Amino acid sequence: MVASKSRLTPDQATADAQEGNEELLKFYREMLLIRRFEERVGQLYGMGLIGGFLHLYVGQEAVIVGVENAVTREDPMVTSYRCHGHMLMRGENLTRVMSELTGRSTGSSKGKGGSMHMFSPENGFFGGHGIVGAQVPIGTGIALSLKYRGLSNVCFTFLGDGAANQGQVYESYNMAALWKLPIVYVIENNQYGMGTSIARASAQTEFFRHGEGLGIPGIKCDGMNVFSVKDSALEAAAFVRAGNGPMIVEMNTYRYRGHSISDPAKYRPKEEVKEVRETRDPINQVEEIIIEKGIVDHAGLKKIDQEIRSTVRKAAEVAKEANFPSPSELYTDVYASNDSAND
């Protein structure tokens, strides 16, 4: 006798469809917010309002949006210098992030960290690190802390393909495997480490396999597809949360801009970038589904875009009016306070 499959009631089906529609719009809004924010930041840099190094996240939005929608705010995160989108998705105030980029005292790091060194520990975000690969041992240490305290949280540690062959990364893998630490290593493979393609820099270009010798399982997903990202993050989080130790998730993505704002990206053909934009853009993929399902029409999506542009523009205006840090701030926040040390 074959057991009959349970069917959704009309009310349940409607509720599930509504929930799916809401998730689609949420994905769309969040990825578009990062895109418009980064575009505005690039403009401000050109106007001389942002100094130092600047690494934009345009094209890679699906990675952090998909992961953030698969975890809890209690699951800590740490990443590299390409961190603006991570800050926004962790819940940091838009104006505070913009203020930090413009070096204002109202910024998330009081204007002293800038683009590459943003922190929001109250939201479970521990940087923003300028040294290539340096965030990986930090994330591993956070995972050790989680295990030591008997917590069920998982640390998501992001790194790029350019950092994947760093010695400190392999040392971290070894420690995480040895002690079965609750950590997911997310490799945002955007195909180029600065100006060097992965084929010219790595003997093993399937980065999810880099932990095989240590018994660390890995999976690979389409990092331009927010649904694929979320599913992979859920799978990895469940595996690690069950006490199985670390996992590596390689997310194949693509950055539309150069490595940094000063990089003209002449090492790759314009046709390559054009093809990815036209066939794999993460925002366009979701937009097409929204239109196809009749959730919102083109006019509705345009309105969402206008609202986001307005929000970003206002944040930039507020940031520009804020004060720069006092020179005396050079001597503050050098060491943790006694209160912080006792937490």
Q: What is the pLDDT of residue 341?
A: 46
Number of folded domains in the chain? 1
In this structure, is residue 161 part of a structural domain? yes
In this structure, is residue 316 part of a structural domain? yes
In this structure, is residue 45 part of a structural domain? no
Residue 220 and residue 252: Cα distance in Å, rounded?
8
In this structure, is residue 13 part of a structural domain? no
Query: Residue 296 is part of which domain span?
Result: 50-323
In this structure, is residue 38 part of a structural domain? no
Lowest-confidence range among 234-248, 270-284, 324-338? 324-338
Q: Against a cut of 0.85, is the pTM above it?
A: yes
pLDDT at 274 over 70: yes
In this structure, is residue 124 part of a structural domain? yes
Of 105, 130, 106, 126, give the one whose Cα is nearest residue 116: 130
In this structure, is residue 26 part of a structural domain? no
Which tens digits make up the pLDDT trace of 185-221? 999 999 999 999 999 999 999 999 999 999 999 999 9
In this structure, is residue 40 part of a structural domain? no
Residue 211 and residue 341: Cα distance in Å, rounded?
34
Burial 115-148 (b: 16+ CB within 10 A, else e): bbbbbbeebbbbbbbbebbbbbbbbbbbbbebbe
- The helix (run of H) or strand (run of E) holding residue 78 is strand 77-78
Q: CATH number of the domain at 110, please.
A: 3.40.50.970
Q: What is the pLDDT of residue 11?
A: 55
